[in-house]
Amino acid sequence: MAFYYADTIKRSLTLVVIVLSFAIFIWDINVSLGVATGVLYVAPVFIGIWSRQRWMVFIIAAACSILTIIGYFLSPEGGIPWMSVANRILSLMAIWFTAGLAYVNQRMEREKQILSLFPEENPNPVLRVRSDGRILYANPASGPMLNSLECHVGGYLQGDCLSKIRQASESGSPIEFEYKVKANTYSVQVSPATNEAALFIYAVDITERKRAEEEASLAVRIFRHMKEAVMVTDGAGTIKYVNPAFTWITGYTAEEAIGKGSRLMKSGRHGPEFYKAMWDTINERGEWSGEIWNRRKNGEVYPQRLTITSISSPAGLATQYAAIFFDITDLKKQEQEANYHAYHDSLTGLPNRTLFVDRLKLALSRARRNSSMLAIMFMDMDGFKRVNDGYGHATGDLLLKGVAMRLVGCLRESDTVARFGGDEFTILLEDIKDMGEVSRLAEKIICNLSETYLHEGQPLMITPSLGVAIYPASADGEYELLKKADSALYAAKRSGKRCFKLYSARMDRQGR
């Protein structure tokens, strides 16, 4: 308030001095011209316009006043025309300079008022510049930006910022642009000042926002090019986003999926307990990962590897769920093939030794539990080596395939036949009633496998020999049964081949 009254008094004194000086000059009233002009020298002090930037104007105004006073006292009484003219001219100059100083002071005061409107506490940079880029004002928050630009108040802005300043000055309209200053990025608005030959620059540091936008953009690009499907739902399970891989895997386009519930792809293969366990894990740990069966748009049910992650708000509430999955149909097929080859003979497709022993263990458990009998047959082909050596391994392989087919044809679906290697085969018979059943099957196998094989029109003759061991009569464990059946096989070969023998204890004493 005090500043306001002082400013009013200064302006009033300035106006009085100027009016009085003009009156003296025009009407030459009977007042000491020197004293009146001297007041013009004192006026700048009253209005407080002294500043280092305007010292030359002040000196000229003072000199004019002093010369006017000297001229007045040196003039003879009555005045000399040329001295009168000089006095009036000098007086006019003093008036003009004083008026100029008053105008400058008024302009400075107006600039101070304008600058006082700038929020010094504003956390964002605020500048006032001329159209040539010179900085007239900068608030404290502008410091880091100006330091990066290696600029200061009184200096000049350059580059793209200067071109935008000129463009805004010429068009008279605000211009917004992004301005990168070393490691930082600013959102800048250049606005022409109303009734002022200057412009305001408002800047906001958007470095973090740009970094976040770039990270989000990178994430979107990654999602779009991922081979894994990405699906984002809200807390209620409504689909909000899917990537192209989602469409490729499920058959549903983004338009068909977004807005629908995630149950859209439910296969029906899993019961309520499966989903309850899954969501219990998500709620407890924030993530679940595992295999699940889902349904494509065309109705095909397929296996997928799925990971669901919950996205929580600062309050800890799950607001979104991100699901990443991929089709593992081919992987399952590969696993099945690998598993098949691990447990099956590659030539005949029959179970191999590993699978046969596993099935024998299970069969023995059932037999013990049910107090039933089972039989093991160990078989090899008499004369196979002669055919294999005489006609080649390719012919021998074809012959083994034929033997496997005939052997499977002799058995029940519940029985197991396996190839142990070479021309050795094993047979597992479960739930046998008596030895007569075993004997009949053995004779059937010998009869069928002894029939002539034709290869390229040539007859090939091989015959089987079989050894039989019975649980529990012969042995109790799987390896003991196999060993007893092997002993019985060699007893059959010693007795003339093309026959079968049931294991007996004396066969162990005879050996091979």
Active site residues: 423
SS3 for 214-276 is HHHHHHHHHHHHCCCEEEEEECCCEEEEECHHHHHHHCCCHHHHCCCEHHHHECCCCCHHHHH
> What is the Cα–Cα distance from 392 to 401, expressed in whole angstroms?
15
Angle at 103 between CA 100 and CA 109, to 5 degrees: 140
- The rounded distance, in Å, linking the Cα atoms of 157 and 166 is 11
Mapped onto helix, strand or coil, the DSSP state of residue 418 is: strand
When computed from its CA atoms, the radius of gyration of the chain, rounded to whole angstroms, is: 54
Cβ pair 79, 105 in contact under 8 A = no
Cis peptide before 472 (omega within 30 of 0): yes
SS (H, E, C) 156-223: ECCHHHHHHHHHHHHHCCCEEEEEEECCEEEEEEEEECCCCCCEEEEEEECHHHHHHHHHHHHHHHHH
User: Is residue 383 left, alpha or beta, with left meaning phi > 0 and alpha meaning psi from -120 to 50?
Assistant: left
Stretch (H or E) spanning 22? helix 2-27
Q: Which of 308, 334, 335 is nearest to 322 (CA)?
A: 308
Q: Which two tokens stand for residue 204?
A: 């906001």
Rounded to the nearest 10°, the torsion over CA 64, 65, 69, 75 is: 30
Alpha carbon distance 448, 313 (integer Å): 75
